[in-house]
């Protein structure tokens, strides 16, 4: 519990500012008192009234408030708390903190405080990876500032990767840890592993496949499927957030390449196999792409035309595509230590997935139901079953990013304990 603890919460101007409302609610439920300072930009996303109602305290916004400053209010605010928390912590305020700039109430009290400071970064993924942000966070870490998050996932702008503010419940746990420790260790999340400490998959290389493949009939038409690539791209981002070097081989999608990931774009199954084999060796392979099983035996050099007089359409003879999952699962010096396949099924999901795992020779299979009405293909949610040598772990329906985060953590746990029963 946090009974009797005093938290000074600084809310800055990012889309994640709305999460500060839930953070306040959880802190008060745990027994903490919360005073809130918000920047002018934060007012574009949440209102002082909302923050005041939830905190039960006046919200402070102005460095030059006559009432407060006659009593040196910014000094009192900075010293009265047990912990100062900045959530969300935008790239702007992190830069100001690293440089020691104090040009408003929030930055002034951060410079004046003698208490520990915990930041929850939240920004666009490209900003998170920018060298200036890396330098600023490195400096703040040396200054003793604690960090929680950010999480990896889909951004409001549509990009993938680390940059989403940690969930309020996670921040509360980081606050508990910060108040419980007398020393000043860095509290790191997936993103901060890139600068403060190795992530759990640091030093590992993963190859991830994503999206559909397009198998050409002629220069205009092709055989494909409904895969959006959302699950595979999310997995690549989640692995990268845990410190893994990731090569993403993707078929045609409308998605932005995940930041911090080496992305290779292909069209056909044969191109995907060649790209995967070129990316080896790897410790991990996650085959999340929906690869076309067949392709036309002959690709017409010109667009096939309708024939006059109601003639029958041309016959298109199909031949089998290379089996990427079975190829890289085969024993040999280049086989990844862990190979994870996907089974998109429309009926008898578990039976077909177990049979596929045995037939392909992979270590794990992630099975899901993609039948009409599930909304899995192209949607944002997924319900999967993770099948390994010891059985089946059925996960509840969740977002595809949550599936990716959970799978990445499961992979990290596998390598942290190589003798675990997950080994095939």
Which residues does the annotation mark as catalytic? Answer: 157
Rounded to the nearest 5°, which phi and psi values hold at 187? -95, 110
* Most distant CA pair in the chain, distance: 94
* 239 close to 307: Cβ distance less than 8 angstroms: no
Using a 10 angstrom Cβ sphere, with 0-12 exposed, 13-18 middle and 19 or more buried, the burial of residue 387 is: buried
Bridge-based pairing of strands 245-250 and 205-210 is parallel
Cis peptide before 281, with omega less than 30 degrees from 0? yes
Coil, helix or strand for 189?
coil
Q: How far apart are CA 76 and CA 73, in angstroms?
A: 5
Coil, helix or strand for 39?
coil
Rounded to the nearest 5°, which phi and psi values hold at 128? -60, -40
Coil, helix or strand for 297?
coil
Q: Which residues are annotated as a binding site for CTP?
A: 293, 303, 322-325, 342, 356, 360
Closest CA to 20 of 3, 2, 38, 41: 38
Rounded to the nearest 5°, which phi and psi values hold at 238? -65, -40
* 249 close to 324: Cβ distance less than 8 angstroms: no
3-state secondary structure 119-181: EEECCCHHHHHCHHHHHHHHHHHHCCCEECCCEEEECCCCCEEEEECCCHHHHHHHHHHHHHC
Q: Which residues are annotated as a binding site?
A: 293, 303, 322-325, 342, 356, 360
* 279 close to 264: Cβ distance less than 8 angstroms: yes
* 84 close to 110: Cβ distance less than 8 angstroms: yes
What counts of helices (H) and strands (E) characterise the chain? 14, 22
* Neighbouring-strand partners of residue 290: 212
Buried b (16+ CB within 10 A) or exposed e, 214-223: bbebbeeebb
Coil, helix or strand for 80?
helix
Q: How far apart are CA 275 and CA 72, in angstroms?
A: 63
């Amino acid at each position: 519990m946090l009974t009797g603890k005093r938290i000074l919460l600084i809310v800055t101007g990012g889309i994640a500012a709305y999460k500060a409302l839930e953070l306040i609610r959880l802190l008060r439920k745990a027994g903490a008192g919360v005073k809130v300072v918000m920047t002018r930009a934060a007012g574009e996303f949440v209102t002082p009234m909302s923050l005041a109602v939830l905190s039960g305290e006046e919200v402070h916004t102005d460095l030059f408030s006559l009432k407060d400053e006659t009593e040196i209010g910014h000094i009192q605010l900075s010293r009265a708390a047990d912990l100062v928390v900045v959530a969300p912590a935008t790239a702007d305020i992190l830069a100001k903190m690293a440089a020691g700039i104090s040009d408003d109430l929030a930055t002034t009290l951060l410079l004046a405080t003698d208490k520990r400071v915990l930041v929850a970064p939240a920004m666009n993924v490209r900003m998170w990876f920018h060298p200036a942000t890396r330098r600023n966070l490195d400096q703040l870490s040396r200054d003793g500032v604690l960090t929680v998050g950010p999480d990896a996932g889909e951004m409001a702008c549509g990009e993938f990767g680390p940059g989403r503010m940690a969930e309020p419940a996670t921040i509360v746990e980081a606050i508990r840890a910060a108040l419980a420790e007398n020393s000043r260790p860095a509290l790191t999340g997936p993103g901060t592993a890139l600068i403060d400490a190795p992530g759990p998959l640091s030093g590992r290389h993963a190859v991830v496949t994503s999206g559909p493949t397009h198998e050409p009939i002629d220069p205009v038409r092709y055989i494909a499927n409904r895969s959006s690539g959302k699950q595979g791209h999310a997995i690549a981002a989640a692995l990268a957030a845990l410190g893994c070097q990731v090569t993403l081989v993707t078929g045609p999608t409308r998605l932005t390449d995940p930041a911090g990931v080496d992305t290779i774009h292909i069209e056909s199954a044969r191109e995907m196999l060649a790209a995967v084999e070129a990316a080896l060796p790897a410790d991990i392979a996650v085959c999340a792409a929906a690869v076309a099983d067949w392709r036309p035996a002959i690709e017409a050099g010109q667009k096939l035309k309708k024939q006059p007089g109601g003639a029958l359409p041309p016959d298109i003879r199909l031949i089998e595509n290379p089996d990427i999952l079975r190829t890289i699962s085969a024993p040999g010096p280049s086989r990844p230590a862990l190979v994870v396949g996907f089974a998109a099924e429309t009926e008898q999901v578990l039976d077909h997935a177990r049979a596929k795992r045995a037939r392909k020779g992979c270590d794990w299979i992630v099975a899901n139901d993609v039948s009409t009405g599930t909304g899995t293909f192209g949607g944002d949610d997924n319900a999967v079953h993770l099948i390994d040598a010891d059985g089946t772990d059925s996960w509840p329906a969740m977002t595809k990013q949550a599936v990716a985060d959970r799978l990445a953590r499961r992979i990290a746990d596998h390598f942290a304990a190589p003798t675990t029963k997950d080994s095939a």
